[in-house]
Amino acid sequence: MEEEDDEYIIELCRSLSNMFDCIGGDSHVLNLINLLEKIMNIDENVIRNEVLIQLINYKAMKAIKNILSLAKISEISNELVEMIGKLSTHDNDNQKISAINIIPTVYSNLKPSQKIQVGV
């Protein structure tokens, strides 16, 4: 992966966080979240160094939190719990940290059974 690709991914995260209204709001918000989840799961062998991995994960996680602040979380809570579960069981600590940072954004909108699933 070239340096330009790293910069592209970082800029993509920034841009995606501002696309909530452009994609049709709540009815399509999972498309953005799924894309950002894939970005957070980029294999660290693809990216040259740990600092870039952390920066990209941070930008993707921040974009998800921004999007979720606009979305009706209760309508997509099952998908969010699934995403948090996948991130939190990943081998890489960066994904686990991203999951931990997303939980406070969605927690108050989760059902009691979902709160147990995310481990809180």
Q: Is the pTM of this model over 0.75?
A: no
Q: What confidence score (pLDDT) does residue 94 get?
A: 77
Q: What confidence score (pLDDT) does residue 51 get?
A: 64
Q: What confidence score (pLDDT) does residue 1 get?
A: 47
In the predicted model, residues of the chain with pLDDT beneath 70 are 1-4, 43-51, 120
Check if the beta carbon of residue 13 is closer than 8 Å to that of residue 59. Answer: yes
Q: Which domain holds residue 78?
A: 3-117
Domain count, the chain: 1
Q: What confidence score (pLDDT) does residue 10 get?
A: 81
3-state SS class at 52: helix
